[in-house]
């Protein structure tokens, strides 16, 4: 039994300071169910054959993408890449204006200045302007001649660099290799009056040649426009797969940023993003974070309140092969993007920098940074864990050592946030694996390090070293600081018995006070009857008090059917134990494959509590993957607010908010309220014999209406029920004047 009298006194005491303040308005609470609108919408939009995206990443070129192609435009050339599928290397055609002749006389031109307006890219080359009109399935290139030094046949010659073979196809050309086909066709010349003529297109000495007949040129009204069309005819057997999702929360605007990887080809992976509201419903359209031919993989995202900016980090390379480096791009809250920049890169290309992760800072003053952790590859048996700090002006300090022992340290992860509160208590937790040898082979144990808000390495320690394999870790953001300024983290990880066996998820408690980490078997704690099921790939975060852990679980032994579940935990400081609040809640459970969950607690960066945004990769019925997102509220599965019919008269009692620790509950009564208010206390059912139809539903304390309370973070209160009833001494029939409202039974979640 819960100490119900303690609950009543607690509500009365805490409500008192808020009596004169009226209701407290919180950000709208998301629905208490996972949502998949974000994933469905982004998949549909990227598959829309009419959509076009344009980006300027700061490399001097404009990049764009349509339904089955992408392209880049520079001062002297442009490149077209047909979509060939995620399992094949990229194919490129690069075109450059080599020669322009009017009546046999050369017309000089220069490298151009690039401009973008909507779906049109223009390159002004002085005597001729190249324009590119972008459509979902094609790019139309035009040469615009506003003046002509003479009148006669116009000859345009383009250098072409490609690995494809070219052949004449009627009045156009086809570049092909097997089932990869790109058509250069439908070329016309037109003048200002609308007159037009079909042009000849042919391949001459490895160049594309376009000819405008002299008769047409002589009678043309300027400007004269030469229009060829480039179109991908490739039909690839698979989609451009979407994988590796992540997200971060901006509490100022009340939005998440969802990011993911899209495999344009086997050698070129792009990054995309979309903003979502706190219910994970998309806000606006998806946008490109990387469209270049560099391969950006395994994106990670974090938010920094100072500057109100997200940092996206990724493992970057050319052709998805070594050398690898860590790249980044800032996404501002208004949707504008910085140029792409290097975060950590070996100038000589000797040592790869791989698998980065990033942590943000919710602080709104002082000097704050992003912390980026990554792995440096020295040899097959010697990997290091390093750190870089990044500011919103793209100032980077890289290759700060965290662990550079002569052994293999790998798979670094960092807290999404270093915690809300005083900078003196803020910490990031970094977790990573160390591979060690024993007589029967090798095993991984988990190591950790605390980082200061400026990126200093404060301490290093062992998180888990039991003799089993401990890997694939995910450290949460920290809890709020306790009365001694100490914070608590949970590290979720995958544990497999030495020598093999089923993996399961464990959770280690790490405290900033130096207490030795303690580990708990989440599968045993859940007691969900799933002891024989494999669990893997955990993600963890903390909203300041509660910890959420999401993970994959195999539905049937040896099957490809994986589902995603989550549990909520709280730390009991008096016992040093973790306690379950909600166990084995399904986030995505279908016949198919749901994998790669990631979490971001809005409370970790100062947003609403008890709200964990999540993303994952979903393959319903083993079809093409998509990225879906939703919200996990992470409170007890039972409880809430129920209404008992106890009223007599015309009083109406209403409420808003969620009755869960850390959330705000508002209650008010309307009607002829005079010398009245609210009764708050123990639930009772006491019919009043002198008042026909009136039932007293509360034995407790008298409070003013409206009343608001922020429910404390006290584990002992979960499951306790309090009752609230409106009372008025006028306008009713009880004793000639009084009236009562219905009663709210509030069970804390």
What is the percent of the chain where pLDDT is above 90? 59
Q: What is the pLDDT of residue 397?
A: 97
Q: What is the mean pLDDT of residues 133-140?
A: 92
Question: Using one digit for the tens of pLDDT, what is the confidence trace for 502-554?
Answer: 889 999 999 999 887 888 888 888 776 666 688 999 999 999 888 999 999 99
Q: What is the pLDDT of residue 735?
A: 66
If one compares 483 and 309, the residue with the highest pLDDT of the two is 309
pTM given for the model: 0.87
Produce one character per residue of 580-617: b if its CB has 16 or more CB atoms within 10 Å, e if not: bbbbbbebbebebbbbbbbbbbbbbbbbbbbbbbbbbb
Q: What is the pLDDT of residue 43?
A: 47
User: Taking all residues of the chain, what is their mean pLDDT, rounded to a whole number?
Assistant: 87
Name which of 81-90, 396-405, 468-477, 659-668 the model is least confident about: 659-668
Q: For residues 314 and 297, is the Cβ–Cβ distance under 8 A?
A: yes
pLDDT of 261 above 60: yes
Q: What is the mean pLDDT of residues 164-178?
A: 91
Rounded Cα distance between 446 and 410, Å, is 10
Q: What is the pLDDT of residue 158?
A: 96
Rounded Cα distance between 720 and 7, Å, is 7
Torsion of Cα atoms, 506 then 511 then 514 then 517, to 10°: -10
Q: What is the pLDDT of residue 1?
A: 37
Q: What is the pLDDT of residue 20?
A: 31
Instruction: Tell me the pLDDT band of 401, cut-offs 50, 70 and 90.
Output: very high
Rounded Cα distance between 435 and 447, Å, is 10
Q: What is the mean pLDDT of residues 716-726?
A: 84
* Closest to 369 (Cα-Cα) out of 314, 311, 449: 311
Beta bridge partners of 71: 64, 80
Question: Using one digit for the tens of pLDDT, what is the confidence trace for 549-563?
Answer: 999 999 888 888 999
Give me the DSSP letters along 614-678.
EEEEEEETT-S-EEEEEEE--S-SS-EEEEE---BSS-EEEEES--STTSEEEEEEESS-SS-EE
Name which of 149-153, 423-427, 726-730 the model is least confident about: 726-730
Instruction: Tell me the pLDDT band of 730, cut-offs 50, 70 and 90.
Output: confident
Question: Using one digit for the tens of pLDDT, what is the confidence trace for 598-616?
Answer: 999 998 998 877 789 999 9
If one compares 711 and 721, the residue with the highest pLDDT of the two is 721
Q: What is the pLDDT of residue 37?
A: 34
Q: What is the mean pLDDT of residues 636-657?
A: 84
Rounded Cα distance between 612 and 541, Å, is 8
Q: What is the pLDDT of residue 422?
A: 92
Rounded Cα distance between 207 and 201, Å, is 10
Query: Does residue 714 sit in helix, strand or coil?
Result: coil
* Residues contacting 660, CB < 8 A, separation 6+: 610, 633, 635, 636, 639, 711, 748, 749
pLDDT of 736 above 80: no
pLDDT of 47 above 90: no
Q: How many residues does the chain have?
A: 749
If one compares 716 and 260, the residue with the highest pLDDT of the two is 260
Three-state helix/strand/coil letters over 5-56: HHHHHHHHHHHHHHCCCCCCCCCCCCCCCCCCHHHHHHHHHHCCCCCCEEEC
Phi, psi of 535 (to 5 degrees): -130, 145
Q: What is the mean pLDDT of residues 131-156?
A: 94
pLDDT of 39 above 50: no
pLDDT of 38 above 60: no
Q: What is the pLDDT of residue 61?
A: 97
Name which of 16-30, 42-56, 64-78, 269-283 the model is least confident about: 16-30
Tokens of 393: 């002006």
Name which of 64-78, 314-328, 348-362, 633-647 the model is least confident about: 633-647
Question: Using one digit for the tens of pLDDT, what is the confidence trace for 348-365?
Answer: 999 999 999 999 999 998
Q: What is the mean pLDDT of residues 31-35?
A: 38
Instruction: Tell me the pLDDT band of 468, cut-offs 50, 70 and 90.
Output: confident
Element (H, E) at 693: none
Rounded Cα distance between 43 and 403, Å, is 40
- The CA–CA distances, whole Å, from 25 to 154, 658, 706 equal 69, 12, 13
Q: What is the mean pLDDT of residues 213-238?
A: 84
Instruction: Tell me the pLDDT band of 28, cut-offs 50, 70 and 90.
Output: very low
Question: Using one digit for the tens of pLDDT, what is the confidence trace for 286-341?
Answer: 999 999 999 999 999 999 999 999 999 999 999 999 999 999 999 999 999 999 99
If one compares 502 and 23, the residue with the highest pLDDT of the two is 502
Q: What is the pLDDT of residue 566?
A: 93
Q: What is the pLDDT of residue 720?
A: 83
Q: What is the pLDDT of residue 673?
A: 65
């Amino acid at each position: 039994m819960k100490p119900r009298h303690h609950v009543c006194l607690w509500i009365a005491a805490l409500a008192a300071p808020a009596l004169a303040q009226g209701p407290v308005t919180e950000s709208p609470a998301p629905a208490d169910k996972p949502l998949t609108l974000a994933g469905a919408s982004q998949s549909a939009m990227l598959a829309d054959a009419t959509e076009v995206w344009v980006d300027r990443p700061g490399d001097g070129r404009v990049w764009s993408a349509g339904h089955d192609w992408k392209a880049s435009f520079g001062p002297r050339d442009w490149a077209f890449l047909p979509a060939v599928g995620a399992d094949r290397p990229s194919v490129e055609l690069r075109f450059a204006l080599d020669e322009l002749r009017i009546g046999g006389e050369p017309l000089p031109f220069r490298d151009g200045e690039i401009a973008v307006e909507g779906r049109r890219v223009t390159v002004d080359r002085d005597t001729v302007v190249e324009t590119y009109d972008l459509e979902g399935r094609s790019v139309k290139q035009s040469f615009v001649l506003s003046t002509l030094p003479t009148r006669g046949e116009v000859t345009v010659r383009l250098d072409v660099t490609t690995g494809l073979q070219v052949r004449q196809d009627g009045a156009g050309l086809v570049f092909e290799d097997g089932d990869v086909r790109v058509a250069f066709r439908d070329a016309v010349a037109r003048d200002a009056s609308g007159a037009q003529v079909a042009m000849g297109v042919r391949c001459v000495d490895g160049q594309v040649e376009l000819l405008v007949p002299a008769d047409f040129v002589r009678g043309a009204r300027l400007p004269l426009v030469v229009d060829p069309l480039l179109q991908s005819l490739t039909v690839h057997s698979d989609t451009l797969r979407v994988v590796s999702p992540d997200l971060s929360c901006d509490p100022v605007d009340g939005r998440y940023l969802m990011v993911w990887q899209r495999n344009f080809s086997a050698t070129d992976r792009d990054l995309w993003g979309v903003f979502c509201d706190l219910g994970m419903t998309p806000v606006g359209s998806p946008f490109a974070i990387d469209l270049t031919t560099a391969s950006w993989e395994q994106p990670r995202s974090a938010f920094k309140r100072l500057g109100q900016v997200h940092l996206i980090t990724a493992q970057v390379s050319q052709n998805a092969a070594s050398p690898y480096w860590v790249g980044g791009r800032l996404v501002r809250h208004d949707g504008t993007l910085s140029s792409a920049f290097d975060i950590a890169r070996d100038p000589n290309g000797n040592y790869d920098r791989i698998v980065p992760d990033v942590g943000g800072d919710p602080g709104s003053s002082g000097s704050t940074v992003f912390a980026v952790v990554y792995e440096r590859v020295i040899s097959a048996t010697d990997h290091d864990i390093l750190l870089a700090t990044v500011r919103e002006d793209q100032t980077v300090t890289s290759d700060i050592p965290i662990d550079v022992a002569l052994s293999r340290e790998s798979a670094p992860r960092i807290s999404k946030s270093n915690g809300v509160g005083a900078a003196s208590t803020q910490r990031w937790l970094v977790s990573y694996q160390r591979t060690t040898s024993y007589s029967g082979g090798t095993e991984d144990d988990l190591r950790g390090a605390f980082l200061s808000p400026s990126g200093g390495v404060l301490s290093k320690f062992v998180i888990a070293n039991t003799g089993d394999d401990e890997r694939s870790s995910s450290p949460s953001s920290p809890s709020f600081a306790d009365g001694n300024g100490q914070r608590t983290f949970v590290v979720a990880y995958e544990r497999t018995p030495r020598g093999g066996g089923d993996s399961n998820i464990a959770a280690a408690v790490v405290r900033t006070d130096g207490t030795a980490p303690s580990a708990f078997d989440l599968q045993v704690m859940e007691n969900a009857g799933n002891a024989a099921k494999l669990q893997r790939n955990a993600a963890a975060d903390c909203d300041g008090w509660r910890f959420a852990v999401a993970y994959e679980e195999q539905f049937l032994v040896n099957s490809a059917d994986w589902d995603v579940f989550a549990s909520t935990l709280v730390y009991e400081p008096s016992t040093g134990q973790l306690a379950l609040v909600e166990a084995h809640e399904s986030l995505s459970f279908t016949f198919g494959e749901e994998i790669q969950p990631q979490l971001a607690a809005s409370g970790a960066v100062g947003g609403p509590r008890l709200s964990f945004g999540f993303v994952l990769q979903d393959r319903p019925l083993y079809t093409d993957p998509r990225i879906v997102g939703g919200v996990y509220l992470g409170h007890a599965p039972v409880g809430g607010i129920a209404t008992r019919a106890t009223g007599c008269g015309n009083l109406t009692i209403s409420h808003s908010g969620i009755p869960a620790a850390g959330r705000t509950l508002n209650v008010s009564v309307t009607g002829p309220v005079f010398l009245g208010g609210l009764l708050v206390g123990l639930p009772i059912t006491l019919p009043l014999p002198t008042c026909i139809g009136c039932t007293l539903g509360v034995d407790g304390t008298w409070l003013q209406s409206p009343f608001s309370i922020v429910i404390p973070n006290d584990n002992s209160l979960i499951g306790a029920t309090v009752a609230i009833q409106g009372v008025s001494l006028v306008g009713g029939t009880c004793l000639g004047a009084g009236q009562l409202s219905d009663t709210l039974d509030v069970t804390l979640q």
